[in-house]
Amino acid sequence: MLADDQELLRTGFRMVLEAQPDIDIVAEAGDGVQAIEEAARTPVDVILMDVRMPRLDGVEATRRICAGPDAPKVLILTTFDLDEYAFAALKAGAAGFLLKDVPPLELVAAIRAVHSGDAVVAPTTTRRMLDSFARVLPSAAGPAEPPELARLTDREREVLLLVAQGLSNSEIAARLTLSEATVKTHVGRILTKLNLRDRVQAVVLAYETGLVRAGG
C-alpha cells in the first residue's frame, strides 16, 4: 500500500513497483486515517508510509497499524533532512525508513527485504539520523541499563554496539574478523534475548538506554 498525500509521488512509486512481477499495489491512502482504514480492510504485506500527512501523521498511523494482529510491515518515507518524526515512527513499530528520492532498484530491494522479515536501515543514514536526534535521546542521567542486556555474552554485546552505530553485517564481520554468517547468528540471538522484532528496535534500544550515545 502507498500512503502519501502527494498523488504525483504515489503515481511514480506505482509505476516503478507495478513493473515488478512479484509486487502488486493493492491500496493507496492520502492521509493517516485513510491508511489505517485501508490496512484494516485490505490484505497488505508492506506499507510505504509518508511521515507528514493531513488528518493523522504517519507516526501515529504506523503505531495504530503495528499494534494490530498480523500487522503489515511499514516502511517510512522521509525527506533528505531526516525530520525527527522518522525516529518516532521506528519506535512506533516501523521496519525501517527510506528517503523519498530512493533509487527505484533500492526501493524494490527494500520492499522485498522487509517482506522477508529484515529491517531496512541504511547504515550511513542511521548514523546521520541518530546524530541529528541527540537532543531527544537520553542524557547522562537517562534510564538504567535494562537487566536484559546482562543476558548477552561479551561478543553479542560487542555486535549490538556495532549494530547501534549503523554498521551492516558485512561491516561488522570485517571489523571483528568474523564470517558474515556468524554475525547474522549473533544478531539473531541478540534479538531473541532482548525480545526485539528486528535490528531497528535494537538500534533504538541501544540509544534509549544510553548503551550508545548519538555523536559518540
User: Could you tell me the domains of the chain?
Assistant: 2-120 (3.40.50.2300), 136-208 (1.10.10.10)
| 67 has a pLDDT exceeding 80 | yes
% of residues, the chain, pLDDT over 90: 42
Q: Which residue has the higher pLDDT, 81 or 74?
A: 74
* Partners of 49 in the β-ladder: 3, 76
Q: Among 75, 30, 38, which Cα is nearest to 56's?
A: 30
pTM (global) more than 0.75: no
E strand spans, the chain: 2-3, 28-29, 46-50, 73-78, 96-99
| Statement: residue 132 has pLDDT above 90 | no
Cβ-count burial of 9 within 10 angstroms (0-12 exposed, 13-18 middle, 19+ buried)? middle
Supply the mean pLDDT for the chain. Answer: 82
Contact 136, 87 (CB under 8 A): yes
State yes or no: pLDDT of 88 exceeds 80.
Answer: no
pLDDT higher at 140 or 33: 33
Say which residues have a Cβ less than 8 Å from residue 114's Cβ, sequence separation at least 6: 46, 73, 75, 95, 96, 120
The pLDDT value recorded for residue 121 is 64
Residue 140 above 50 pLDDT?
no
Give the strand pairing for 96-99 and 46-50. unpaired
Higher pLDDT, 48 or 138: 48
Sheet-wide strand order for 46-50: 28-29, 2-3, 46-50, 73-78, 96-99
